[in-house]
Amino acid sequence: MTQTQAPPAPGTRVGHFRVAHALSRRVRLKSTLLGDPAFDAVYFQALLEALPGVFEVRINGRGACLVVVHDGRPETWDKVAACLRSLPDEAFAPALCDEAPVTGSDVAVKALVTIASQALPWPARALLGWSMAMGVIVKGVETFFTRGLKVETLDATAISLALVRGRYFTAGSITTLLALGQYLEGQSEERSTALLKGLMRPQVEKVWTVRDGVEVQLPVGEIAPGDLVVCGAGELIPIDGVVAEGEGSVNQSSISGESVPVHIQPGDAVISGSVVEEGRLTITVERVGSETSMARIGRFIDQSLRGKSKTQTKSAALADKLVPVTLGLGGLMLLATRDVNRATSVLTVDFSCAVKLASPVAVRSGMYAAGQAGVLLKGAAALDALQDVDTIVFDKTGTLTTGRIAVTDIIPGEGLTETEVLALAAGAEEHYDHPVARAVVGEARRREIALPPISRVDFIVAHGVAASIDGKHVLVGSHHFVAEDEGVACDHLEQTAAALRGQGKSLLYVAREGRLAGLIALRDDPRPEAAAVLAALKASGIGHIVVLTGDHKDTAQALARALPQVDELHYELKPEDKAAIVARLKGEGRTLAFVGDGVNDAPALVTAHVGICMPKGADLAREAAQILLLHEDLHTLVVARQAAVRTNAIIRQTFGATIGCNSLIMLLATAGMSPVAAALLHNASTIGILGYAAMAASRPLAQRPLAGADAPRRKELC
492 vs 258: CA distance, rounded Å: 49
Going through 248-369 in order, the beta strands assigned E by DSSP cover 248-251, 262-264, 269-270, 275-279, 281-287
Which amino acid is it at 116?
A
Mean pLDDT along residues 315-326: 73
Q: Are 529 and 633 in contact (CB under 8 A)?
A: yes
pLDDT at 718 over 80: no
Task: Determine phi and psi for 566, rounding to 5 degrees.
Answer: -70, 130
Say which residue, 197 or 173, is predicted with more confidence: 173
Whole-model pTM: value is 0.62
Q: Are 630 and 615 in contact (CB under 8 A)?
A: yes
Query: Which of the 8 DSSP states describes residue 271?
Result: -
Mean pLDDT along residues 458-487: 83
**Predicted pLDDT of residue 125:** 87
Of 290, 289, 291, 252, residue with least CA distance to 268: 252
Classify residue 692 by burial, with Cβ atoms within 10 Å: 0-12, 13-18, 19+.
Answer: middle
598 vs 461: CA distance, rounded Å: 9
| Strand bridging mode 26-30 / 17-22 | antiparallel
Mean pLDDT along residues 425-429: 89
pLDDT at 1 over 50: no
Domain boundaries along the sequence of the chain? 13-92, 206-300, 375-402+527-643, 406-523
Say which residue, 576 or 229, is predicted with more confidence: 229
Hey, which residues does 67 pair with through a beta bridge? 28, 58
pLDDT at 185 over 70: no
Q: Are 507 and 524 in contact (CB under 8 A)?
A: no
Say which residue, 510 or 715, is predicted with more confidence: 510
In this prediction, residue 252 has a pLDDT band, given cuts at 50, 70 and 90, of low
Q: Range with the lowest mean pLDDT among 142-156, 281-295, 352-366, 583-597?
A: 281-295
Q: What is the CATH number of domain 406-523?
A: 3.40.1110.10
**Predicted pLDDT of residue 547:** 92
In this prediction, residue 517 has a pLDDT band, given cuts at 50, 70 and 90, of very high
447 vs 423: CA distance, rounded Å: 10
Half-sphere exposure of 421 (CA within 13 A, CB side): 22
**Predicted pLDDT of residue 229:** 92
Q: Range with the lowest mean pLDDT among 13-22, 153-162, 689-698?
A: 153-162
pLDDT at 461 over 90: no
**Predicted pLDDT of residue 420:** 92
**Predicted pLDDT of residue 349:** 73
Choosing from 155, 384, 395, 524, the catalytic residue is 395
Say which residue, 75 or 7, is predicted with more confidence: 75
Mean pLDDT along residues 587-597: 90
In this prediction, residue 296 has a pLDDT band, given cuts at 50, 70 and 90, of very low
CA distances from 312 to 83, 356, 363, 368, 382 (A): 38, 8, 8, 16, 12
In this prediction, residue 707 has a pLDDT band, given cuts at 50, 70 and 90, of very low
Hey, which residues does 391 pair with through a beta bridge? 544, 592
Half-sphere exposure of 656 (CA within 13 A, CB side): 6
We find that the CATH architecture of domain 206-300 is Distorted Sandwich (2.70)
Q: Was domain 375-402+527-643 assigned CATH 3.40.50.720?
A: no
User: pLDDT tens digit string along 205-217?
Assistant: 678 898 888 888 8
Which amino acid is it at 611?
G
pLDDT at 82 over 90: no
Half-sphere exposure of 488 (CA within 13 A, CB side): 27
**Predicted pLDDT of residue 50:** 66
In this prediction, residue 18 has a pLDDT band, given cuts at 50, 70 and 90, of very high
In this prediction, residue 293 has a pLDDT band, given cuts at 50, 70 and 90, of very low
pLDDT at 494 over 80: yes
**Predicted pLDDT of residue 708:** 38
User: pLDDT tens digit string along 357-382?
Assistant: 777 778 878 887 887 788 888 777 78
**Predicted pLDDT of residue 412:** 93
Q: Are 325 and 666 in contact (CB under 8 A)?
A: no
Say which residue, 69 or 182, is predicted with more confidence: 69
Measured N-to-C along each axis, helices 310-337 and 151-164 cross at an angle, to the nearest 10 degrees, of 30
Hey, which residues does 56 pair with through a beta bridge? 69
Q: Please, which residues have CB within 8 angstroms of residue 500's CB and are 6 or more apart in sequence?
A: 409, 411, 507, 519, 521
Please provide the average confidence, as pLDDT, over all residues in the chain: 79
User: pLDDT tens digit string along 662-694?
Assistant: 888 888 888 878 777 777 787 788 778 878 888
Say which residue, 138 or 239, is predicted with more confidence: 138
**Predicted pLDDT of residue 518:** 94
Say which residue, 646 or 252, is predicted with more confidence: 646
Of 286, 295, 296, residue with least CA distance to 223: 286
**Predicted pLDDT of residue 184:** 66
pLDDT at 241 over 90: no
SS3 258: coil
pLDDT at 717 over 50: no
Mean pLDDT along residues 24-53: 80
pLDDT at 291 over 70: no
SS3 416: coil
| Strand bridging mode 715-717 / 568-570 | parallel
Percent of the chain, pLDDT > 90? Answer: 15
User: pLDDT tens digit string along 398-410?
Assistant: 788 887 788 999 9
Q: Are 40 and 96 in contact (CB under 8 A)?
A: no
In this prediction, residue 310 has a pLDDT band, given cuts at 50, 70 and 90, of low
Task: Determine phi and psi for 110, rounding to 5 degrees.
Answer: -60, -40
In this prediction, residue 228 has a pLDDT band, given cuts at 50, 70 and 90, of very high
Mean pLDDT along residues 152-159: 78
Percent of the chain, pLDDT > 70? Answer: 83
In this prediction, residue 257 has a pLDDT band, given cuts at 50, 70 and 90, of very low
In this prediction, residue 316 has a pLDDT band, given cuts at 50, 70 and 90, of low
Mean pLDDT along residues 518-530: 89
Q: What is the CATH number of domain 13-92?
A: 3.30.70.100
**Predicted pLDDT of residue 378:** 75
- Told to judge if 395 belongs to the known catalytic residues of this protein, a careful annotator would answer yes
pLDDT at 193 over 70: no
**Predicted pLDDT of residue 568:** 92
In this prediction, residue 312 has a pLDDT band, given cuts at 50, 70 and 90, of low
pLDDT at 90 over 70: no
Q: Range with the lowest mean pLDDT among 115-124, 387-396, 592-601, 670-679?
A: 670-679
